[in-house]
């Protein structure tokens, strides 16, 4: 009997150990924040937990986009802003259909209804996915040329894509009054409200909420991302299903013949070559799929956020995603779907809860201006720290 | 010739992790003589040189026992730098030169004469200016001493390969007080005429009173240049004799000689089961594999036989299998069972029923962080689409984990792979068990020709026996044709029906296991029968 117990204890210990010390620290920290938030501040814990889920669902696809390049041996794909701008192009395309003469083309008029609701969401994808596949192909080709420096080149490709799009946004041939600058002239606005199009198209599908739910309330501080759902626990059922469904598909894909070949190519290219796997093609495909996932990811993100943010908003978006998957236990060479799910939930929960908690804790302090920056500083330390940690252990396994 | 030796090595013993690689080796070097040091790969030559030059690897693995005497006085050499100070120099096989520097800069590197400016008092020697005029003058003199007509201002990168070797020598000569000079296979990369010049330079240097230790594989060079010949075999001193008292066949026999007859031999000549039907025909195969270049080989493997490929390291034997399998760029013509093989395409080679156990077990052979079962199954999944649950889905067909597990269990039992189970990560297995996994992953492809490279390198005796025995059994009972490459001549002679000896990228000859040692020795050291 005691033997049985010992075995179970050993199993439990293994489980705890395999979760990793770093993750336990983060979990402990998270629990501490929730504890403080529940007891010492007037924040509603239910609301915070709901926000954690929303934030995770929003960012989840962008994190999932990182899995394949890691497995195929290209490292962390810092170039996902390339996919993000493709997603934004698709999104803006779908919104422009609401104009009287979309793109100034009279034969396109009368399709306004297409831009609203589910069809708008689908059209955004229909434009974004082929575009991102195409650019992903080019990106993959480029990475093959700079073998060994994928991550650094990826960072600059991401930056370059965002910066290049800044110019294109200014010159985009759009006519919808909701897209172009209100003062007139060329170019798209910085932020486009999705309220009348497909805001929460996923979030609200089968949504569950407890407590008072008041959509539209703005963040009182104004500096935080505007979580407009406040007052009570909220489960964005459709959003979570979409994300977890994508994760499930990825998990299945990794267990197919192609997924196996791709992982083998990443783990040992020499080996893969010796059994006839086209290693370079595997890496290229991984980048294509990653870029497509990023494109879809930003559309999902925006429908939940309620806005498309253009211009420089996508500049730094690779970093939180990269930090998430690393926090979930991935390394530069190994990544799985569980790393995505655990990492996204942990990282986003930490961000989502620490900000309002610290804000309410320090609101009566004479130093509140400075102290209010603490969560942002903590975010930067964690985000960049975890990336630095992973890079410094490049040659070793996870943990 | 003076009676007392310049350099003496006495009773040198060295073990790496319990394996004795030097067993009481003695060597004495006199001023003005060229002393040839001969031995197969693994005979202990490199280790002996590492001891002599105080390489860190010796100390890190527990040091050595025995004495090194320089002009009769015991010395303890703890680093290559100390060896240099004592006047022991080395001309390396791989050039230790900086291509972007000029010849004189290379010759004087880290020994540059300085101008002795007053700033030295303040800033130290490191910031004193170089006396470039003197560097050039002295380099020119050294180059002249070895009769190399090259400007000291030339960039090393622009020199022909042969000249780089001479720059190396000039650098050693330039060290002035050099008393002992070691040449490590200096002629390996030289053309015939360059090699002759080099031997002349060596003679010159010897006449000037420098003791020269000449490591080589080429017996004709030994006979033309050396005064004394020392032969090592398996870490033991076999013989040390004056050149005029020995002969090429004698040297060859002593290098190779070992008692092979006690090992069970598969049989001499053609395999009894073979019907002389060729399964693999290779014509003019050339392979660009760095360090193992193949310069045009022709041979035929008959169905049902085990053909061995032997030879010294760096002669190209490793390149042959890699070239056929498409892992190294190759040209020429290869036919498998009468059909032309597309070269440089691993997929085509595998598709035609060839399977390969690579000499680079950890680099090419395995996915170290994957489980035993997946390592065995992945090649079959990728090449034959085996172990798939719904094969009609093509690349998206899910892998049949159950089938993979069942097959792995069979292979584990069959090959006696010592593991905690099919899910254990391959990295944690011992070398021998990793090699068994490599064999299992090749056999799951059900090949008609199995190419095996260095199957017993770096593995324990038990696993070695099992693997050789398994290969023999596969050949005998299942008629599997095997092309086996190995550095272990004894192994080849015990297992194969015929053994091809590779020298300088070509086939020097094909022997039967029963042919006398002297023939093997001659073919391996660049001679002919």
- Most confident of the following: A386-390, B14-18, B86-90, B194-198: B86-90
For residue B204, pLDDT over 70 is answered with: yes
Could you tell me the domains of chain A?
A: 22-36+44-218+231-394 (1.10.3470)
> Burial of B108 by CB count in 10 Å (0-12 exposed, 13-18 middle, 19+ buried)?
buried
List the single best residue of B323, B369, B441 to mutate versus A (max A Cβ within 10 A): B369
Instruction: Write the pLDDT tens digit of every residue in B123-147.
Output: 777 778 888 889 999 999 888 888 8
The predicted structure's pLDDT at residue B333: 92
The predicted structure's pLDDT at residue A139: 95
The predicted structure's pLDDT at residue B385: 85
d(CA B488, CA B517): 13
For residue B364, the chain A residues in CB contact (below 8 A) are 268, 270-271, 274
DSSP 8-state assignment for residue B397: P
The predicted structure's pLDDT at residue B166: 85
**Measured between CA atoms, how close is B401 to chain A, in angstroms?**
9
Instruction: Write the pLDDT tens digit of every residue in A54-69.
Output: 999 999 999 999 999 9
- Is the ipTM value over 0.90, yes or no? no
Contact A253 B396 (CB under 8 A): yes
Residue tagged 């609101």 (tokens): A363
Residues A276-295, mean pLDDT to the nearest whole number: 93
For residue A212, pLDDT over 60 is answered with: no
For residue A128, pLDDT over 80 is answered with: yes
For residue B479, pLDDT over 80 is answered with: yes
Instruction: Report which of residues A165 and A235 the model is more confident about.
Output: A165
Helix (H) / strand (E) containing B335? strand B330-336
Q: Does A256 touch chain B (CB under 8 A)?
A: yes
Contact B345 A276 (CB under 8 A): yes
Separation of first and last alpha carbons in chain A: 34
The predicted structure's pLDDT at residue B266: 52
Query: What tokens appear for A92 in the block?
Result: 């803006």
The predicted structure's pLDDT at residue A221: 45
Sign of CA dihedral B322, B325, B331, B334: positive
Instruction: Write the pLDDT tens digit of every residue in B98-113.
Output: 888 889 888 888 788 8
Residue B271: pLDDT band (50, 70, 90) is low
Query: Considering only alpha carbons, which residue of chain B is nearest residue A267?
Result: B367
The predicted structure's pLDDT at residue A94: 92
Average pLDDT of chain B, as a whole number: 85
Q: Does A253 touch chain B (CB under 8 A)?
A: yes
The predicted structure's pLDDT at residue B324: 93
d(CA A387, CA B61): 37
The predicted structure's pLDDT at residue A187: 83
Range scoring the smallest mean pLDDT among B205-209, B266-270, B323-327:
B266-270
- Most confident of the following: B11-25, B239-253, B431-445: B431-445
Residue B246: pLDDT band (50, 70, 90) is confident
Q: Which residues of chain B have a Cβ shorter than 8 Å from any chain A Cβ?
A: 325, 327, 345-347, 350-351, 356, 358, 360, 363-370, 374, 378-379, 381-383, 385, 388, 393-399
Query: What tokens appear for B166 in the block?
Result: 């001479």
Residues A166-175, mean pLDDT to the nearest whole number: 87
Of B383, B394, B399, the CB nearest to A276: B383
d(CA A4, CA A12): 12
DSSP 8-state assignment for residue B315: S
Instruction: Write the pLDDT tens digit of every residue in A343-355.
Output: 999 889 888 888 7
For residue A181, pLDDT over 50 is answered with: yes
Instruction: Write the pLDDT tens digit of every residue in B27-75.
Output: 889 988 999 998 877 788 888 888 888 888 888 888 888 888 888 888 8
The predicted structure's pLDDT at residue B36: 92
Residue B269: pLDDT band (50, 70, 90) is very low
Residue B168: pLDDT band (50, 70, 90) is confident
């Amino acid at each position: 009997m005691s033997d049985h117990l010992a075995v179970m204890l050993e199993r439990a210990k293994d489980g705890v150990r395999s979760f990793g010390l770093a993750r336990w620290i983060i979990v402990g920290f998270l629990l501490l924040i929730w504890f403080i938030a529940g007891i010492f501040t007037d924040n509603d814990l239910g609301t915070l937990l709901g926000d954690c889920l929303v934030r995770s669902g929003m960012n989840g696809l962008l994190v999932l986009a990182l899995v394949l390049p890691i497995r195929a041996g290209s490292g962390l794909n810092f170039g996902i802003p390339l996919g993000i701008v493709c997603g934004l192009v698709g999104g803006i395309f779908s919104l422009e259909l609401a104009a009287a003469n979309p793109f100034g083309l009279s034969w396109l008029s009368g399709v306004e209804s297409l831009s609203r609701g589910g069809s708008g969401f689908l059209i955004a994808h229909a434009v974004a996915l082929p575009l991102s596949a195409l650019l992903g192909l080019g990106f993959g080709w480029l990475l093959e040329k700079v073998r060994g420096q994928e991550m650094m080149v990826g960072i600059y490709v991401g930056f370059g894509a965002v910066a290049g799009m800044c110019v294109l946004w200014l010159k985009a041939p759009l006519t919808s009054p909701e897209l172009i600058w209100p003062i007139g002239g060329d170019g798209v606005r910085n932020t486009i409200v999705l309220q009348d199009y497909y805001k929460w198209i996923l979030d609200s599908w089968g949504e569950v909420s407890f407590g008072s739910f008041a959509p539209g309330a703005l963040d009182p501080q104004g500096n935080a991302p505007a979580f407009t759902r406040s007052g009570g626990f909220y489960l964005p059922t459709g959003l979570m299903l979409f994300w977890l469904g994508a994760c499930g598909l990825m998990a299945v894909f990794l267990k197919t013949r192609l997924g196996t070949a791709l992982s083998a190519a990443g783990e040992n290219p020499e080996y893969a070559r010796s059994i006839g796997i086209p290693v370079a093609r595997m890496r290229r495909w991984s980048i294509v799929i990653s870029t497509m996932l990023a494109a879809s990811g930003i559309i999902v993100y925006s429908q939940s956020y309620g806005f498309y943010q253009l211009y420089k908003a996508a500049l730094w978006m690779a970093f939180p995603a990269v930090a998430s998957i690393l926090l979930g236990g991935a390394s530069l060479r190994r990544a799985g779907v569980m790393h995505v799910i655990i990492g996204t939930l942990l990282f986003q929960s930490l961000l989502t809860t620490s900000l309002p908690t610290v804000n309410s804790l320090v609101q009566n302090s004479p130093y509140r201006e400075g102290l209010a920056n603490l969560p942002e500083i903590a975010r930067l330390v964690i985000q960049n720290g975890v990336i630095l940690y992973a890079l410094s252990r490049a040659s070793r396994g996870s943990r | 010739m003076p009676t007392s030796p310049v350099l003496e090595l006495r009773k040198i013993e060295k073990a790496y992790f319990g394996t004795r690689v030097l067993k009481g080796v003695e060597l004495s070097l006199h001023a003005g003589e060229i002393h040839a040091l001969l031995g197969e790969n693994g005979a202990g030559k490199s280790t002996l040189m590492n001891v002599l030059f105080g390489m860190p690897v010796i100390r890190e693995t527990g040091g050595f026992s025995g004495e090194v005497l320089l002009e009769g006085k015991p010395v303890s050499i703890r680093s290559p730098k100390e060896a240099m100070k004592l006047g022991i120099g080395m001309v390396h096989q791989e050039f230790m030169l900086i291509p972007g520097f000029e010849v004189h800069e290379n010759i004087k590197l880290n020994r540059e004469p300085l101008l002795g400016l007053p700033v030295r008092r303040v800033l130290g020697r490191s910031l004193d200016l170089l006396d470039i005029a003197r560097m050039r003058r002295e380099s020119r003199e050294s180059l002249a001493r070895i009769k190399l007509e090259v400007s000291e201002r030339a960039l090393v990168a622009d020199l022909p390969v042969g000249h780089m070797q001479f720059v190396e020598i000039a650098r050693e000569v330039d060290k002035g007080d050099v008393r002992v000079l070691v040449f490590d296979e200096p002629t390996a990369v030289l053309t015939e005429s360059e090699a002759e010049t080099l031997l002349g330079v060596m003679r010159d240097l010897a006449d000037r009173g420098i003791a020269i230790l000449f490591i080589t594989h080429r017996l004709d060079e030994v006979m033309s240049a050396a005064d004394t010949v020392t032969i090592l075999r398996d870490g033991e001193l076999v013989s040390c004799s004056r050149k005029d008292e020995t002969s090429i066949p004698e040297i060859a026999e002593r290098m190779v000689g070992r008692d092979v007859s006690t090992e069970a031999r598969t049989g001499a000549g053609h395999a009894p089961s073979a019907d002389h039907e060729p399964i693999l025909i290779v014509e003019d195969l050339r392979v660009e594999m760095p360090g193992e270049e193949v310069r045009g080989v022709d041979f035929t493997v008959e169905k049902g036989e085990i053909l061995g490929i032997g030879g010294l390291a760096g002669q190209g034997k490793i390149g042959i299998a890699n070239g056929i399998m498409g892992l190294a760029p190759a040209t020429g013509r290869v036919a498998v069972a009468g059909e032309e093989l597309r070269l440089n395409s691993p997929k085509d080679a595998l598709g035609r029923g060839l399977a390969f156990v690579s000499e680079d077990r950890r680099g090419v052979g395995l996915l170290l962080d994957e489980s035993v079962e997946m390592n065995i199954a992945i090649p079959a999944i990728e090449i034959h689409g085996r172990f798939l649950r719904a094969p009609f889905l093509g690349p998206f067909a899910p892998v049949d984990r159950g089938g993979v597990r069942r097959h792995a269990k069979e292979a584990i039992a069959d090959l006696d792979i010592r593991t905690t189970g099919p899910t254990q990560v391959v990295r944690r297995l011992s070398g021998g068990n990793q090699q068994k996994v490599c064999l299992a992953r090749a056999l799951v492809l059900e090949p008609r020709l199995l190419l095996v490279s260095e199957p017993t390198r770096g593995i324990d005796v038990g696993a070695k026996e099992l693997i050789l025995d398994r290969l023999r059994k596969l050949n005998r009972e299942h008629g599997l044709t095997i092309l086996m490459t190995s550095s272990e001549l004894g192994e080849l002679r015990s297992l194969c029906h015929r053994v091809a000896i590779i020298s300088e990228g070509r086939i020097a000859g094909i022997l039967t296991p029963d042919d006398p040692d002297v023939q093997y020795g001659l073919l391996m050291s660049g001679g002919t029968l």
